[in-house]
Amino acid sequence: LFLFIWITIFALSGLTSCKDTITNPTDIVFPNDSISFTEQVGPLFQQRCAHSPCHGGSVPAADLNLEYPSYSALLNKPGLVIPGDANHSVLVQHLDGRLSPMPPPNFPQLTQNQITGIIKWINEGAKFN
């Protein structure tokens, strides 16, 4: 099922691009600790991921809609975010390339600070705050 979903995502990415909807991909900077969903994680997903054909619109990729607020979408997908365990969270495995890389290579990439921030947020318990 995951393979089908990711093949579909890559096929759609060739037809259209999210690049036109992203204005300042590096303007969200994560602190070293006490990561906030409401101040960093949610806005990052809103800015970078929650666009059609990506994870927004009426038919979001992988059936994962990250339009704000996306907290429940992240926690309701089994294994996507495992609070306290970033290493085994599917989201992190996509971000670090162990699974099909997200965002796909032809899309603007997250900064290392943003990836590290998401990992820290998950390891801190993936709280909604």
| CB neighbourhood size of 113 (10 A) | 15
Q: How far apart are CA 129 and CA 119, in angstroms?
A: 16
Cα 54 versus chain centre, distance: 10
At 107 the pLDDT is 86
Q: Terminus-to-terminus CA distance in the chain, angstroms?
A: 32
At 25 the pLDDT is 55
- Cβ 123 vs Cβ 85: under 8 Å: yes
Confidence category of residue 11, pLDDT binned at 50, 70, 90? very low
- Global pTM reads 0.78
Per-residue CA distances from 99 to 7, 32, 45, 59 (Å): 13, 26, 19, 22
- Show the tokens assigned to 113: 């600070």
Percentage of the residues of the chain whose pLDDT score is greater than 70:
79
